[in-house]
Structure 1
């Protein structure tokens, strides 16, 4: 069959469905049938599944002319997805097309949710298309004779590649692909990515730099003119001193009419605790929504999540309060309206969420922005412009993640074993490990066989044996089993199951939150008020409670920061606000903030593009110095510590540091000599690394980072299912190893990696350096104020929140506002 005949088959099927294929779909079919690899850049809901599954089936038809009567068994294609929730959608779309053309191709799913029975059936006979996650693919590589399973594999599609790219799961995928390229001779690799800033680099990471696959590849863009309408929910009365404490709930009555006038609404929150709170408040104030309102976040049990997703599809729910768990491609066309509660911290995330509305080609997306405090309206104004410019962030790939490599080498040793001379060039061909040296490689081989220089005396670290023929192999069944249980790179705090005393699983919650509660305490979870009865065997046993006041769980993932792109957009908007007297170019959001800007100008200034603002004032708490780089909380955390350390070198003074996305505060019981700070160029980027080490207690941060590295590399065992090791024990085991390496083996690659990741990923050293260079070129504007300003107020209240309960905080803030208004 010629290529034209094959394409005609696909075209006819589309016509039968009443559809018309897009140009990007046809371009992808053509490129695939020309035996090319590539990256498809297409938004959610644009038909990307059919862009790649169609040519895989067409290629099968071409190679098997009698495809309707006979089927050639065995795995032909793998579809990798970062989220288990997406697998059902892909399965349905794939089966629809395969059946529509009369093929006998089978589709199967293999994720953490797949039953033991289904896995056993797959072991005997693999489906033609397997939909799986990066972790489950690694598990397949750990099984005996995996090369036989994959030898006839023709295609790998990596969905939502932008999500995997900037994470260690992306490194897992790179390593798996490096192996499968060798095992499967006719392999074609394709990625699907939403819009990111560095698409060319994303393709290079996926296919491998300098690889043949990259030379023979295409980057295909779906130029769909997606209209996105951003509407801000602006409060009728604007507070003069904005603060974040009410989580946007003061605008609840403005939100309900929007929900009522839409068929289906998704309310996106940034954290699971905010999600729980909004759900509770809507139901308690508007009980008529009972049965029509649901909640969706990653800690709720799978059955409930799937029920919610299905209910959105068949429009039996009016609204869902959710987190990023619904960011990615779960496909439900009917969603009419999106409400974003609070700043999304990044342009790409905002666009992704906006795209869930009008989630069909050609439909307009409508997204409402609800500020949790007034200053967030500046973010709304900045996002309006970002949507127009399509300004999105880069995803920065990981480099030299030796913990993932140690895990991968052990995986290969558990299955068939490996010869270093064969595997080394494959690993070097990946983006992540292109700079690995032969010395690094020898160290890693020593590490998995002898447990590194300082652990040689302990047999538990000698996992891999070197056989007579030079093959590296795990021969101990216990080692192999423990390794398989721990494959993966997502290391979170130990998760405990939440169950009713009488039975019934509700979801999972992080140990660090539950450890703060005592039996009898009431907490909100999955939309219910629950009373803690006891904790037993990694299970939180609860019963329903009728009490109204409850603690809302907070999850470790709740700390989000501005992306570099978002920070830049915000600064541009802020500079515009400084000149807001000129009416041209002034957005509705900036107009609404007139009162706050007037107050800010009265008490201090709004900085212009060439200015850097510092405010000082005294309250009963002490002497405050507030700095405004507008660079995001992670950069401010590092900047605050750096400046506090440099000031202390000039005069002995101690500070408490507070920060948010706009700026940071140094609070002391002594007055800072600000003129001395300005005269001594304390924002210099010189000696940055040395000063950061001393100021931040970088060793302590690296020690915390090392826990994750130790778990991924298999240095510490997280436990068996239903008998997990408590996180405090994990922490103490990894801290002990960290101390051993620090004292006896400073060149240990995993020990060094913990520092590198602390600086590169947690402290964003590159961004920090750029921020310092920018500040150094700005004119310092120091205002000694009489009292807190509107800009400083959110930073002060954020610090108070850490110390006070929500009721006490609201009382305290009311008093503060009263005194400031006088």
Structure 2
């Protein structure tokens, strides 16, 4: 075996590779004990930069039969990536003959493997933030991590902007207290605010290493044969099926990304129907499929035996599929970072071109495609910011640290304040958190279940009972969603093969005998019991498509700005690129009947129909910010005159439909100002109901609501009822409860995007109002009209109505 400093170069030489400059920089920094953040394009060799650096710095011969003790923790944001990452780390260890063992610890780890790790942790452990916190709750955790030298946080951008990242910050603080010289490195490929990302990961400072950024990314668009002049969003883009099939035929291996699991199911089924000869050559991959199914798909992709995989964000990250030649994106990616991440799944090696083909589901997405390529070329990547003072995560962490050997409040406070997320934690907030875990705060002192932690005479705080400790361990984590039911084949002798999971809210709409599409199969629901839905194969031709929450991603500010730039250019007669030339008939009609949005104007349109008086406004602020703008405008106008409106929104704009005439010119844009924004937004929306919904998640994270044991999970309805009861109790008897304030703040920041709303209002103040009275819906207005109809019409009736409307509008557009 070569001497330690030569390990990295020796392994590279054995493969006839030459390390890049950024890899050598990271190797040297790790050897000097420096921490940092490595930002480099997907497939450029980030993993080898930090892993070979770790082996070079820390791998030493050991005596005896056992491999080295735990030296490196590798944090991955997805447990689906853990096994693949472990295999990548194992290769140089085996080939260099190093006495290191590699292990995985996640929710998928078997009980036998957990038992082995309880006796002795491997030399390098690949784990998730949740599993790391669980390891920290063990009684001898400090001893287990006594030899730890380095932590690698993979795909840091995926954790930075959410509570999982906050949970990880707190775990890192505990490990840094035990090991002050700990080396920490973050890896990322798609971040627009690197200084903030570095500061959150390393509050004490660290190095920022920029890797190779010359990787070529080819972005092209699959143009439809026919351009709809009256497009509408919400269909799955299946009109492009023939063209997509042809593209897949021309490539040996492809990934087809969709934005939702339901869309992935439909596209997989449609491709199989169109090309039955591809059975066994194409596959489906999303997070709700059973683990063994996902493993088979990933293994087959690596081996190059699959022609295509239809997938969701479940394959966005990290997994290295060298055989993949190209990526297709069905519909808009809605953000530049997501587009870049998905593009990097093809050509996943240094020097290889990554190619992504955008497949529009409606004509306006052609403009988004052109805008995305422009923003990508300009390097306009979305920023992600860490949450601050998430009290629900803090409460959970305090209880977690009270497990095992317990904690001393003054020491734990110092740890907590060493994180970026809690650097501004006030003494009063800390005392509230301690009181909350000790006796439930001022309103729950009579209930033993909320006396979770107790102070002992020796000054240590520990969890009060083993029963409460067991309950808490089952609830560790910050991922809260609709309760999931296991989906299994029905058999007379009991449950058959597991297919995956579906959300309870979807199954609740079905009755036995109804059919559903899942995993590319049409299934009949047999029965539901014990949080398991039993199904059998069906020969029916139609089925409900399993749906999951989180399907609607908002348009990012960076992509929205680029989109308006393209429309502005079109308004001045410049149609650059194949997408803009293809969509020119639509944009020309928009300009003829109304106007095109520009960077200097706020386009608004009015229309009178049998439904009432319509106002259409196009701020291009994204779905949630547009909803806030719509409610704000309606609220402010209603204080001037009696007004009852219905609201429809999309990423481009919003519609207000009033029962009586409104002189909108008298109110716009004066009603869209930043003045009294916070008060008016809260008054204009059902903020109480939104805060209650958000509080349900906070209550689960904080441990107020127990989701049940694995074999007896509580239903969503039970969890909602319990959290709703706490919400009312706190509101009436404990109004200063910090979890209530957090719910309100999260609604403002995450659901209403108050910062983006404020920025948008400031931007609108500098625009000239361009108000047009329409004789008939313009192409942009048509899309909003359809959004408004979705709530009142069934799918079939909506399709018929749209067809009639389009026929009438096309007839009007064809008149000379």
The alignment's TM-score, normalised by the length of structure 2, stands at 0.97
State how 1:209-248 maps to structure 2 within 5 Å.
Answer: 211=204, 214=205, 217-248=206-237
> Equivalent residues in 2 for 1:257-272 (5 A)?
257-272=246-261
User: Hey, what does 1:733 align to over in structure 2?
Assistant: 722
Query: Which residue of structure 2 lines up, in the alignment, with residue 98 of structure 1?
Result: 93
Cα 1:227–1:448 change in 2 (3 A) is same
1:46 maps to: 44
Separation in 1, partners of 2:561, 2:64: 60
Q: Counterpart in 2 of 1:155? A: 150
Q: Which residue matches 2:111?
A: 116
In 2: Cα distance, 1:107 partner to 1:415 partner: 25
Q: 1:26 aligns with which of 21, 24, 38?
A: 24
Q: Distance in 2 between matches of 1:573 and 1:364?
A: 26
How does 1:784-795 map onto structure 2 within 5 Å?
A: 784-795=773-784
Counterpart of 1:349 (choices 338, 341, 349) is 338
**How far apart, CA to CA, are the structure 2 residues paired with 1:59 and 1:245?**
53
Task: Identify the residue that residue 359 of structure 1 maps to in structure 2.
Answer: 348
CA drift at 1:690: 0.7
Determine whether 1:590 maps to 2:580: yes
SS in 2 for 1:226: coil
- Matching of residue 818 in structure 1 with residue 812 in structure 2: no
Hey, what's the Cα distance between the residues in 1 that align with 2:63 and 2:434?
Answer: 49
Moved more, 637-646 or 29-38: 637-646
Q: CA deviation at 1:5?
A: 6.3
What residue is the counterpart of 2:200 in the other structure? 205
1:699 partnered with 2:688? yes
Q: Which residue in the other structure is 1:473 paired with?
A: 462
1:422 is matched with 411
The aligned counterpart of 1:640 is: 630
Q: In the alignment, which residue of structure 2 is the partner of 1:546?
A: 539
Question: 1: distance between equivalents of 2:668 and 2:548?
Answer: 39
The answer to whether residue 299 in structure 2 is matched with residue 310 in structure 1 is yes
Say which is worse superposed, 301-310 or 218-227, in terms of deviation.
218-227
Partner of 1:134: 129
Deviations 1:611-664 (A, max 9, x none): 101111122322211110001101011111111111211211211111111111
| Deviation (angstroms), 1:698 | 1.1
Is 1:370 the equivalent of 2:359?
Answer: yes
TM-aligned CA deviation for residue 57 of structure 1: 1.6
Q: 1:385 to 1:724 in 2, by over 3 A?
A: same
* Larger deviation, residues 643-652 vs 397-406: 643-652
Q: Distance in 2 between matches of 1:32 and 1:794?
A: 54
SS in 1 for 2:411: helix
> Does residue 1:674 correspond to 2:664, yes or no?
yes
Q: Could you tell me how far 1:17 is from its partner in structure 2?
A: 1.3
Distance in 1 between the 2:234 and 2:424 partners?
A: 47
1:151 and 1:185 in contact (8 A); partners too = no
1:608 shift after superposition: 2.1
Report whether the alignment pairs 1:608 with 2:598: yes
Q: Quick check: 1:658–1:666 contact (8 Å CA) kept in 2? A: yes
Q: For residues 490-536 of structure 1, what are the alpha-carbon distances to aligned partners after superposition, in whole Å with 9 as ceiling and x for unaligned?
A: 00100001111121111100111111112221111111111112211
Q: What's the secondary structure of 1:561's corresponding residue?
A: coil
Secondary structure, counterpart of 1:40 in structure 2: strand
Contact 1:493 1:511 in 2 (8 A): yes
In 1, the alpha carbon distance for the partners of 2:506 and 2:82 equals 31
3-state SS of 2:667 partner: helix
Number of positions where the alignment pairs a residue of Structure 1 with one of Structure 2? 807
Q: Within the alignment, does 1:577 sit opposite 2:567 as a pair?
A: no
Instruction: Answer yes or no: is 1:165 the counterpart of 2:160.
Output: yes
Are the equivalent residues in 2 in contact too, given 1:67–1:103 (CA < 8 A)? no
Separation (CA, whole Å) in 2 of partners of 1:730 and 1:400: 24
Note if 1:564 corresponds to 2:562. no
Equivalent-residue separation in structure 2 for 1:312 and 1:800 (angstroms): 42
The alignment partner of 2:73 has SS state of strand
Deviation at 1:71, TM superposition (A): 5.6
* Equivalent-residue separation in structure 2 for 1:518 and 1:796 (angstroms): 33
Partner of 2:309: 320
| 1:184 Cα deviation after fit | 2.0
Aligned residue runs from structure 1 range 65-84, under 5 A: 66-67=61-62, 73-84=68-79
Determine the structure 2 residue equivalent to 1:11: 9
Unaligned runs of 5+ in 1: none
Moved more, 661-670 or 157-166: 661-670
Using the alignment, how far apart are the partners of 1:410 and 1:162 within structure 2?
Answer: 27
- Offset of residue 443 of structure 1: 0.8
Is the Cα–Cα contact under 8 Å of residues 153 and 186 in structure 1 kept in the other structure? no
C-alpha separation between the residues in 2 aligned to 1:157 and 1:441?
29
Aligned-pair CA distance for 1:725: 0.7
Structure 1 pair 789/233, CA: closer, same or farther in 2 (3 Å)? same
Structure 2 counterparts to residues 439-454 of structure 1, below 5 A: 439-454=428-443
Does residue 175 of structure 1 match 2:170?
A: yes
Per-residue CA distance 1:21-56 (angstroms, 9 max, x = gap): 111111100000011011111233222221111122
What SS class does the counterpart of residue 255 from structure 2 fall into? strand
Corresponding residue SS for 2:545: coil
CA distance in 2, matches of 1:366, 1:124: 46
Rounded Cα–Cα distance in structure 2 between residues aligned with 1:225 and 1:108: 34
Question: SS of the residue aligned with 1:97?
Answer: helix
Pick the aligned partner of 1:335 from 324, 329, 334.
Answer: 324
Preserved CA contact (<8 Å) 1:40 1:191: yes
Shift of 1:70: 6.9
* Range moving further from structure 2, 425-434 or 180-189: 180-189
Match of 2:476 in 1: 487
- Equivalent pair of 2:8/2:55 in contact (CA under 8 Å): no
User: Residue 58 of structure 1 aligns with which residue?
Assistant: 56
> What is the aligned partner in structure 2 of residue 456 from structure 1?
445
1:651 corresponds to? 641
CA shift, 1:73, in A, is 4.0
SS class of match (1:176): helix
Q: Please tell me whether the aligned partners of residues 44 and 328 of structure 1 are also in contact (alpha carbons under 8 angstroms).
A: no
Q: Is the 8 A contact 2:196 2:385 kept in 1?
A: no
Question: Which residue is 2:524 aligned to?
Answer: 531
Question: How far did residue 669 of structure 1 move?
Answer: 1.9
Whole-Å Cα distance in 2 between the matches of residues 804 and 273 of structure 1?
Answer: 20
Give a deviation string over 1:764-817, Cα, whole Å, max 9, x none. Answer: 111100101111111111111011110111222223233333332221111011
Matched, 1:804 2:802: no
The alpha carbon displacement at 1:100 in A equals 2.1
* Cα distance per residue 1:263-303 (max 9 Å; x no partner): 01111000111111111111112212211111101101110
Match of 1:413 in 2: 402
Q: CA RMSD in A?
A: 1.5
Cα separation, partners in 2 of 1:582 and 1:636, compared to 1, 3 Å: closer
Q: Deviations over 1:442-475 (max 9, x none)?
A: 1111111011011112221111011112211113
Q: Does 1:751 align with 2:740?
A: yes
What's the TM-score once normalised by structure 1's chain length? 0.96
Question: Residues of 2 paired with 1:341 and 1:696: CA distance?
Answer: 33
* 1:621 equivalent in alignment to 2:614: no
For the residues of structure 2 that align with 1:365 and 1:730, how far apart are their CA atoms?
45
| Map of 1:742 onto structure 2 | 731
Task: Please report how far the alpha carbon of residue 116 of structure 1 lies from its aligned counterpart in structure 2 after TM superposition.
Answer: 0.7
Q: Report Cα offsets for 1:104-144 as digits up to 9, x if no partner.
A: 11010000000111101111111010110000000001111
Are the counterparts in 1 of residues 231 and 363 from structure 2 also a CA contact under 8 Å?
yes
Alpha-carbon shift at residue 60 of structure 1 (Å): 2.4
